[in-house]
Amino acid sequence: MLHTECSLESNKIMSRIWNFSAGPSALPLSVLEKAQSELLDWNGIGASVMEISHRGAEFMALAESIEADFRQLLEIPDDYHVLFTTGGATLAQALIPLNIASFGQAADYVVTGHWSNTAIKQAKPYVDVREVASSASDGFRSVPSSDNWKCSNNAAYLHYTANETIHGVAIRQVPQLPENAAPLVVDFSSSIASEPIDVSQYGIIYAGAQKNLGPVGISVVIIRKDLLERDGQTRADILDYRSQAAKDSMLNTPPTFNWYLLGLTVRWMLEQGGTAEFKKRNELKAATLYETIDVSGGFYRNEVAASARSIMNVPFFLATPELDALFVSESRKQNMLGLKGHKAVGGIRASIYNAMPLEGVEVLTDFMREFQRTHG
């Protein structure tokens, strides 16, 4: 690796940690190394990519190539716009009703965990939120069957969360819904590009980038063009997705460096074999981890229904909060970061996004077995 040959701090051998953070999360080492190597001089122009005009020919060409790569990665049809935006998924959760629903119109929400509720909270000032299904009653350990979603007539859209980052619950298949169902609006923040999806099944796919797409500080909104033609509600131009689309996500100065890092990460995913390859890797990583939990005889517990288990975020619990805390502190000593569960649920959480290799998961499962041996 570059940094061992010629480190900027050459008297120190750098040791990269196994990073299980939920987001911001690990980036591929090669992406960071490339960003590092050209941080002072990008493309031979004598300046960092973060120091140049977004409207100059160099950055415009970069932005165009990133969009092309991203479209290739997710096989995005031509009748979809791709917006690169700021504000994260949470801002999108407010802007989507503002842009594609009229004030007070019904909007359907499926609730499968924390982030489903966040989406509802942001939408409530603008639409008549209808919870059409919820797994709250079983502590978000399952996904309500789409047969039982009580969808509204004339809803502006139907929203769900493809992967609940905190609860470790996923909706990986497109739900079977009637022909006349409202367009699907789906938060893919923590599972985008983890496996192939059929974009044409969705009205809007949105995601913060800081999990599978690399850096924090930029988000993507993939929106079917006919939805952009809806009037939406009174809003400032900067909050208007039509204006953003018309200006190719440069209505105002975009976060160029974050965009560049996203581009490096997307290119890395393509070079690795794309979403089909990552599906294989992610399923193997997840199976390795869930198996370690399931064969532990209850020492480790993950109670999510097998069909609803996330392949990105694996929460689990030990017998007591004290044992959870000890597990986290001991894992940190063994070169693993970010395993503490979200404060909303406690316990442990291993986030194993695309940038996490199988080797990292095996380091974790080896540690889990050893921890069980010494504390079981």
| Active-site amino acid positions | 115, 187, 211
Give percent helix, percent strand, percent coil of the chain, each to the nearest 5. Answer: 40, 15, 45
Q: Contact region for a copy of itself (CB under 8 A) — 4-12, 175-183, 191-199, 311-319?
A: 4-12
What is the maximum span of the chain, computed from C-alpha positions, in angstroms? 67
Task: Show contacts with a copy of itself in window 271-300 (CB under 8 A).
Answer: none
Q: Please name the amino acid found at residue 83.
A: L
The residue ranges of DSSP E strands in 148-262, in sequence order, are: 158-161, 163-164, 169-170, 184-187, 204-208, 219-224
Count CB-CB contacts under 10 A for residue 281: 20
The residue ranges of DSSP E strands in 216-282, in sequence order, are: 219-224
Question: Closest distance between a copy of itself and the C-beta of residue 13, in Å?
Answer: 10
Question: Closest distance between a copy of itself and the C-beta of residue 287, in Å?
Answer: 25
- From first CA to last CA, the distance across the chain in angstroms is 38
Q: Please name the amino acid found at residue 192.
A: I
Q: Contact region for a copy of itself (CB under 8 A) — 14-22, 106-114, 174-182, 287-295?
A: 14-22
Question: Closest distance between a copy of itself and the C-beta of residue 51, in Å?
Answer: 5
Task: Show contacts with a copy of itself in window 77-96 (CB under 8 A).
Answer: 86-91, 93-94
Q: Which of 70, 80, 84, 126 binds a copy of itself (CB under 8 A)?
A: 126
Question: Closest distance between a copy of itself and the C-beta of residue 124, in Å?
Answer: 8
In Å, how far are 38, 67, 301, 314, 320 from 291, measured between CA atoms? 42, 38, 11, 11, 21
Are 127 and 101 in contact by the 8 Å Cβ rule? The answer is yes
Lay out the site mask for a copy of itself across 226-265 (x = CB under 8 A, - = otherwise): --------xxxxxx-----------xxxxxxxx--x----
Task: Show contacts with a copy of itself in window 340-359 (CB under 8 A).
Answer: none
CA nearest neighbour of 291 among 308, 316, 324: 316
Question: Closest distance between a copy of itself and the C-beta of residue 16, in Å?
Answer: 5
Q: Which of 113, 175, 263, 338 binds a copy of itself (CB under 8 A)?
A: 338
Count CB-CB contacts under 10 A for residue 209: 28
Task: Show contacts with a copy of itself in window 180-209 (CB under 8 A).
Answer: 208
Q: Does 21 bind a copy of itself (CB under 8 A)?
A: yes
Lay out the site mask for a copy of itself across 28-47 (x = CB under 8 A, - = otherwise): -x--xx-xxx-xxx---xxx
Task: Show contacts with a copy of itself in window 295-334 (CB under 8 A).
Answer: none
